[in-house]
Structure 1
Amino acid sequence: MKPVPACRHWPALWLLVAAIAAPAAAGEHIRHPFLASQSAKAPEEVLLAVEIPAGSSIKYEINEHGLLFVDRFQSMPVAYPANYGSMPRTLAGDGDPLDALVLTRQPLHPGVLVGFRPIGVPRMVDKGEQDQ
């Protein structure tokens, strides 16, 4: 695959996504977003499998086969403030992949992989248990 030429009008995110997507297009066949390899630059730069786009009030889930489905419609008029998802090939204390919120100028589609630089760790309790 040819490298994507840099353009001063492209947001940095597009360049990062293009750079990370290239290995998969060059031969790595990924069947489930949670099975994608993390970046060689981790933990400074990591991948996120987007499950819920910024601004959405629909909670999506990616099942064990890699299929995206609607988990539920939020009953309150509350939207996710950022793109939410899980980091492939990580394991949190609750046994699930680590969760993350990724800030972008535009919402990202559920199921896509996006590269990002972690800047903090929010603490959360879900159903009385620590959720990471």
Structure 2
Amino acid sequence: MSKDHKSTGPTQRMLRVGELVRHALASIFARGDIEDDAMRGAVITVPEVRMTNDLKIADAYVMPLGGQHAEEIVAALNRHRKFIRGQVAPQLNLKFAPELRFFVDDTFEEAARIDALLRSDKVARDLQDDDENQDRDENQS
């Protein structure tokens, strides 16, 4: 890729490595290898892992089942990220294991917020007004 070519998104390699890291994290979380009171009994999902271009940093977006105590769990994961990196490294076929950073995945929350907005009375009225205007315009043609 030339220097002037601007990338519009993640490369296939970034996506592939991100998916490998995601699977490795999910496996570690399922086994319960991390001992921390904040995580006791938590079932953690890993919807997405985003890799930097150089594959040195993996941003893992996680969410505990039910969404409870998400911030505390993410803080615990970040406290144990060196241990987790050591568990992930053997499962990746990379020269260097990426640094891990954990974040709360808010995509479900954002989707619920957008859904609630779309179902609001104001949006329903606006959509109804648009339909009436469109019908009127079609009848005048």
Tell me which interval the TM-score lies in, with the shorter structure as reference length: under 0.3
- Scaled by the length of structure 2, what TM-score is found? 0.23
Per the normalisation by structure 1, the TM-score is 0.24
Between Structure 1 and Structure 2, the one with more strand by share is 1
Which one scores higher on RCO, CA 8 angstroms, separation ≥ 6? 1
Q: Which has the larger radius of gyration?
A: 2
